[in-house]
């Protein structure tokens, strides 16, 4: 990734953040796919939950884009893989979301290690928001998975989603 003249963060972190834009936009698509899966089953509140999650992932990507621009980085957007709306079950759809969130957590932890190793305190400070966000994201997906796996009727469980959101 080419730098502009006045970059404020390490080139290694800038490269990782550029890659993360693709991961966040990929998560956006994956959450749209899960939301669509639930919408196709007339589970509108479950669909809405995952559509809102998709919007949040897109916002995360934009937050990284803005940071890279503000710190003097030039960037390109990575390609995004297709996302399927086919899942074996509601539990498998939510389990996949939890798996993605755990992977994203690992990605941000790895970037924090890079920032510290490079003495990039500006980048490290920026990553703190994402690390804190990931605690919430993983916790929420764990709760949603427990709810789905409890055997409750998913239409009835939608009433519980109003409390969660």
Domain 11-164, architecture per CATH: Up-down Bundle (1.20)
Please classify residue 38 by burial: count the beta carbons closer than 10 Å to its beta carbon, then call 0-12 exposed, 13-18 middle and 19+ buried. Answer: buried
pLDDT at 161: 83
pTM over 0.75: yes
Per-residue pLDDT of the chain (165 residues; tens, 9 = 90+): 444 446 799 999 999 999 999 999 999 999 999 999 999 999 999 999 999 999 999 999 999 999 999 999 988 999 999 999 999 999 999 999 999 999 999 999 999 999 999 999 999 999 999 999 999 999 999 999 999 999 999 999 998 885 444
Q: Where are the domains of the chain?
A: 11-164
What's residue 162's pLDDT?
Answer: 57
Which token pair is 39?
């919408």
DSSP at 122: H
How many Cβ atoms from other residues are within 10 Å of residue 99's Cβ?
12
Query: For residue 50, which of 160, 133, 141, 163 has the smallest C-alpha distance?
Result: 141
């Amino acid at each position: 990734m080419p730098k502009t003249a006045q970059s404020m963060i390490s080139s290694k972190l800038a490269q990782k953040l550029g890659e993360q834009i693709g991961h966040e936009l990929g998560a956006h698509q994956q959450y749209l796919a899960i939301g669509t899966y639930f919408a196709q089953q007339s589970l509108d509140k479950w669909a809405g939950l995952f559509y809102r999650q998709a919007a949040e992932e897109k916002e995360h990507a934009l937050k990284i884009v803005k940071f890279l621009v503000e710190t003097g980085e030039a960037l390109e957007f990575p390609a995004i893989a297709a996302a399927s709306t086919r899942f074996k079950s509601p539990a498998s759809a939510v389990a996949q979301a939890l798996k993605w969130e755990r992977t994203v957590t690992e990605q941000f932890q790895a970037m924090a290690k890079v920032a510290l190793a490079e003495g990039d305190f500006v980048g490290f400070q920026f990553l703190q928001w994402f690390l804190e966000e990931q605690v919430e994201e993983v916790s929420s997906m764990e709760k949603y998975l427990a709810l789905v796996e409890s055997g409750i009727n998913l239409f009835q469980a939608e009433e519980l989603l109003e409390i969660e959101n």
